[in-house]
Structure 1
Amino acid sequence: MRHVSDLLTGEQRAGVIKTVRDSNPDMTEDMAGRIVDEATKFVVAAACFPAVPLAPSRVVDEGWHALIVHTRLHEELCEQHGRFVQHSPGYDPTHYDPEVLERTRAVIEEAGYSVDDELWRGPQDGLVSVAANCQHAPRCAIRPMPKPEPPVS
């Protein structure tokens, strides 16, 4: 099995963990580290397997947001593994699709990484509270959420 330490230096990982904790001051450093690790694995899997629609869990997405703030690191990580992985924020819990999380976990494992299953639960799980209000569409991690249509009078 591969490890995140093969992807990020200790200094890079610490910087992204700090970004997660800045947005989530009550979160432990250990939990923030686990979230960053899963987000890093997700980005690598999405870059390596562009034809497969993937999406992070809401908790893992918090780590992806932090990784994106480190723009050079995010860009280099994507380029080293195939392609740039775009993020299109949006939140609608009705878009939750357990199959996309199952598929994403499977692709992360196919890329050679173990998965921290506890962080790949549905958006309403509540095990880990995160600041980001983001849930990706069921068909693709890189698709903007449709805006609700105004009511017709």
Structure 2
Amino acid sequence: MTASLAARIVEQAIAFVATSARFPEARIAPSPVVDEGWHALVLDTQLYAALCEAFGGFVHHHPQRPEPAGYDPKLTTHTLATMTDAGYTPDPDLWQGPDDNNIVVGAATWHTPSDSRPIVITKRPKPKPKDDNGA
């Protein structure tokens, strides 16, 4: 990935987070490409907390399993309109649908609003300890 593309992705992630902080009740979600930038921000916790505070409040990231089929064009359109209402200019190349996107990301996760489909943790049994004979 080029430095200029990475900068565009982070800029869109900041715009998305700022919009989320300004409109906390809005049902919006990032594209997989913008989500990569959001992850980069979240990992620097002090910077991320300061950004959220500057924009109006902490924005939690709710992880979801990769769902390439979870693309909802109406949700993306609504997200971009909400970002525009917040004063940001969406970068259309970073919000493409799964069939139109040529930017490779770590996980093709089409997020949904946080109250829709969170990851459900399934407890698994712990392995039995081995005895003195290694069995």
Calculate the TM-score normalised by the size of structure 2: 0.79
User: What aligned pairs does 1:112-131 form with structure 2 within 5 A after superposition?
Assistant: 112-131=87-106
**In the superposition, relative to structure 1, how do residues 89 and 32 fare at CA in structure 2: closer, same or farther (>3 Å)?**
same
Deviation readout 1:60-100 (Å, 9 max, x if unpaired): 00000001011111111111222211111222223221111
- Please state if 1:82 is matched with 2:56: yes
Hey, what's the Cα distance between the residues in 2 that align with 1:127 and 1:51?
A: 31
Amino acid at match of 2:118: M
**In the superposition, relative to structure 1, how do residues 123 and 85 fare at CA in structure 2: closer, same or farther (>3 Å)?**
farther
Q: Contact 2:41–2:48 (CA<8 Å) still a contact in 1? A: yes
Of 9, 13, 35, which aligns to 2:9? 35
Largest Rg, 1 or 2? 2
Superposition deviation, residue 114 in structure 1: 1.1
Q: Contact 1:96–1:123 (CA<8 Å) still a contact in 2? A: yes
Hey, what's the Cα distance between the residues in 2 that align with 1:142 and 1:43?
A: 17
Aligned to 2:109: 134
Hey, what's the Cα distance between the residues in 1 that align with 2:73 and 2:109?
A: 16
- Which is helix-richer, 1 or 2? 1
Superposition deviation, residue 105 in structure 1: 0.8
Hey, what's the Cα distance between the residues in 1 that align with 2:111 and 2:50?
A: 23
Residues 103-112 or 87-96, more deviating? 87-96
Aligned to 1:102: 77
Query: Any stretches of 5+ residues in structure 2 without a counterpart?
Result: 123-135
Deviation readout 1:111-147 (Å, 9 max, x if unpaired): 111111111112343310112443212xx14655355
Query: Any stretches of 5+ residues in structure 1 without a counterpart?
Result: 1-26
**Matched-pair identity in %:** 43
In angstroms, what is the RMSD of aligned CA positions?
2.0
Hey, what's the Cα distance between the residues in 2 that align with 1:120 and 1:142?
A: 21
